[in-house]
Structure 1
Amino acid sequence: MDGLPPGELARVAAYFHVLAEPTRLQILNLLREGECNVGQLARACACTSANVSRHLALLAQHGLVRREGRGTAAYYRIADSSVFALCERVCGQVAGRRG
């Protein structure tokens, strides 16, 4: 982060903010297995479709997922798989600090 201008730091902070919500992390983890539509994700997350749609919109806004319309359904998939390396590193650090 050395030398990043304030505008870039704000974008980095927004990216981490998106990842700081458990349901969004769960959605990313589900999409890691392959593309899904909103209904499938809602059932898997035990959330409403509206709630999942809001999370997906935010994930898409930050370039983490990509939406593809097919007929009346929209399917989502991971757009930036590098997020998993970041999540695995953080999860490893958090797990190492337990107990």
Structure 2
Amino acid sequence: MGSKPRNLSEEALEQIARRFAVLSEPMRLRLIHSLFDGEKPVNTLVELSAGTQANVSRHLQHLANAGILKRRKEGLQVFYSIADASIFQLCELVCGSLEQEHTKRAAAFGR
């Protein structure tokens, strides 16, 4: 890698672990992915994720509490969008890494 690792306090390590824990749920990742092209109301996110209203709302609230998403209320509708733009970079980094790993494995098996 070439870069020197940061000196992290126990508190920092706990915060980092909590952030990864929030992102460890597939439904939450699905919801984040659905918001990559912009803000959406909850009912649209329910349709896109194929989840139930209660389940999707719970995950959206969790993501908002973690600072990853932000919410905006307009009348009776609640809209969600990405609050932390670094999530785009993180997802791209992880997806790119998985893609490389998949390519290596496929090559090893002659595919």
Give the TM-score normalised by structure 1.
Answer: 0.93
Tell me the secondary structure at the aligned position of residue 68 of structure 1: strand
Alpha-carbon distance, 1:2 to partner: 3.1
Percent of aligned pairs sharing the same letter: 41
Amino acid of the residue matched to residue 96 of structure 1?
A: Q
Runs of 4+ in structure 1 deviating by more than 4 angstroms, as ranges, are none
- Aligned partners of 2:39 and 2:90: how far apart in 1? 21
Q: How many residues align?
A: 99
What one-letter code is carried by the residue in structure 1 that aligns with 2:70?
Answer: R
Q: What amino acid is the match of 1:17?
A: A
3-state DSSP of counterpart to 1:80: coil
Q: Distance in 2 between matches of 1:56 and 1:14?
A: 16
Looking at structure 2, the residues matched to 20 and 84 of structure 1 have their Cα atoms a distance apart, in angstroms, of 16
Partner letter of residue 67 of structure 2? G
Uncovered stretches (5+) of structure 2, i.e. residues with no partner: 106-111
Correspondence for 1:54 among 58, 70, 73: 58
Pairwise CA RMSD: 1.1
